Amino acid sequence: VQLVESGGGLVQPGGSLTLSCATSGFEFNRYGVQWYRQGPGTQREMVAGIGTVRNIQYADSVKGRFTVSRDRTKNTVTLQMNNLNPEDTAVYYCKVVISGISYWGRGTRVTVSS
């Protein structure tokens, strides 16, 4: 199982970024995938999750600003992030749970700063 995040970077407040999670090594269409983030000095928190039948969840802090989607042809999950603010600064990870085991990517860093 492999998950590889990409798309992070430096963006100004109010800006947008699109993160991608490329997956391999498992049957993508059978599992939900979640996005987490860990900011400086904070615990890792879930920001969005997408199941296998379009069931989607968002953390309250990102509702209306972030959109998660999955591409079954490319086995990728995308996190579109709009209207970013400094509190969104974090390393963003994607995760999949298979047979009770959590698999994580290495993360991609997002910095929101002027």
Q: How many residues does the chain have?
A: 114
Going residue by residue through the chain, which has 114 residues, state the pLDDT in tens, using 9 for 90 and above.
999 999 999 999 999 999 999 999 999 999 999 999 999 999 999 999 999 987 999 999 999 999 999 999 999 999 999 999 999 999 999 999 999 999 999 999 999 999
The pLDDT assigned to 54 comes to 72
The pLDDT assigned to 53 comes to 83
Instruction: Tell me how far apart the 2 most distant CA atoms of the chain are, in Å.
Output: 43
60 three-class SS: coil
Q: Which helix (H) or strand (E) holds 21?
A: strand 17-24
Contact 28, 72 (CB under 8 A): yes
The structure tokens listed for 57 are 């969840």
How far apart CA 69 and CA 64 sit, in angstroms, is 14
